[in-house]
Amino acid sequence: MTRLATGWHDLGTRNDGAAAVEFAIIIPVFLMIVFGIITFGAYLSVVHSVQQLAAEAARASIGGLSDAERVTLAEANIRNHVGAYILIEPARLVVEQATTDSLTATFSVRLRYDAAGMFIFQLPNFVPMPPPQIVRSAAIQRGGY
């Protein structure tokens, strides 16, 4: 059983509410860390997914004989595989560029994804938010023929 403070001399020695005070100090910092992990984890997952789609499209395009055929192969690959990435909405993904550099014989694919509709942008802004526009590219060198 605890004693009530009987005078001023007991105030410095009592620690009945110490856990509540420590909890009140720590919980905002803890919540910021948790929201930061959720926010940036989801965002980095989408960034990685867009990069993977660009790399897969560049690899799929290598079989094309002309630039037009390579673009068709790359876009078809993106359409066929975008459904495998659950955090990406296909309507928000745009092929910005799919061309061959004539000097280096390198075919590059650049994708832009508008992530503004993601759930992380609806969360309270406890942490600084990343930019909603994600641009990633991949390149593959054609054979030496």
Q: Per-block average pLDDT, block size 10, for the chain (145 residues)?
A: 58 73 92 85 94 94 87 93 92 90 86 90 75 93 68
Q: Which tens digits make up the pLDDT trace of 14-44?
A: 677 888 889 999 999 998 888 888 888 989 9
Instruction: Say what the pLDDT of residue 37 is.
Output: 87
Instruction: Say what the pLDDT of residue 6 is.
Output: 59
Structural domain boundaries of the chain? 18-141
DSSP SS3 for 108: strand
DSSP code of residue 7: S
Instruction: Say what the pLDDT of residue 57 is.
Output: 94
